[in-house]
Structure 1
Amino acid sequence: MRVRLVRLVAVGAAAGAMLLGAAGTAQAQPQPQPGTTTISINPGNVPTTAAEAPQMCDPELGGGPYEDRDVFVFNLPDAERDFVSVTATFDIPDDGTATITIPGDDSEIVRQGTSKAWVIVPEGWTLVSATAVVTGEPEPGLQFVLSHACAASPSPTASPTGSPTASPTASPTGSPTASPTASPTASPTRSELPITGVSGTGSLLPITALGLVAVALGAFFLVTHRRRNTTG
């Protein structure tokens, strides 16, 4: 009787522990918020890498481009609703998958005309699926989209050390010198021809003066001679 009682107590304790554990697990799971619904991404948007998506880098939507990280931007077309959260699953090259919940580290939900969500992930990850909790009651066919991405930009490479140097500024030796500045002497003009006879006004003045003096002396002697003849 006593052993049976101990067994019943043990079974009851185990059952109680199981019930408490189940209650704890139920409380740990996120409860759906009233007035929200869960929707999926447009299946035509996945799978895709950032480089394969339409490109736009917006400082208010994750920024970029970054050297080794990609930016994915999601859009909720219904302007009357807002994202509450977005859960995106990425395929990591040669390293399984990763699931990221937005908002969180390197991710945010903003309103820019409509509700948008962005996330920054390492370069080369592939978006394979995504769901979102949005405000409002369920609506058939309601989806969100991958609006655009900002793919990583490779860092600029340094120019090779052996690149050709600038061309020398000095002219090469042995180049022809400038032509002499002195122009060849021109053929002598008429004014430069040698003068062989008497010419010019300056040369005629002495001769003219001598002629006048001779004429005056001749007239004087002629008058004197006539007076002598008259008086004699």
Structure 2
Amino acid sequence: MPQRRHVTRAAFTAAAATALLAFASPAWASSTVPLNPSHKGSTAANFQQECDDERFASLGDNQDGWHFVLPGSDAGSFETLTLTFNDGTGQVEIKIPDASDAYPDYLYSTGGNDPQTIHAYVFTPAGWTLVDGSAVISGTGDKFNLSHTCAGTTPSKSPSPSPSSSESPTPSESPSTSESPNGDTSASPGSSVGGSGGTQGGLPLTGVAATSIALTGVVLIGGGVALMTLRRRRDKITFTS
């Protein structure tokens, strides 16, 4: 009889331990599930927006708020999330939770008698696009969802300032004297050039004027000589009676 009792107790203990392992195994096991494929490529502005979510109370004007959720009780809780966004120039990876992350993010528990961390929030600069994501969960499932968003205002680039007035090109100054093709500079009408041996301020002697003066001088000299000759001849004539 005592031996049978020991066998019965051993069998009961083994059955109890197996039952405990069976109940505990879902909590110990972790699995990785992807983001719902239909939510890839979403922006906060084109998704279902619920800006009255109290978790978005601290959302900045230039930030987008994102709320992710696990569907069904079998999924257990979020352990970690990895999200990939496109910021317009390239891809940015965000892990939740991550205290060193530049973007605010946290996991939110439902509380109660059977708390589950099935909510996840992250704030990003406005205008980003959700590219992909994966989550490590404590239960079982085939995906997690983007529940709703709150879109911020995308900062617009200010246009480059246009000049207040257009500057007209400075007019070129005309020279006071014009240069002849051989490099000589002709005097303007208001200036005077003195000739060699002439009176300062007189007009220059040109070729035609010099010739006329010379001829006039020769004529005058010739005339004077002729008159002197005639006079001498007259003086030599004597009258006889």
Q: TM-score, normalised by structure 1?
A: 0.47
Instruction: Specify which structure has the higher proportion of strand.
Output: 1
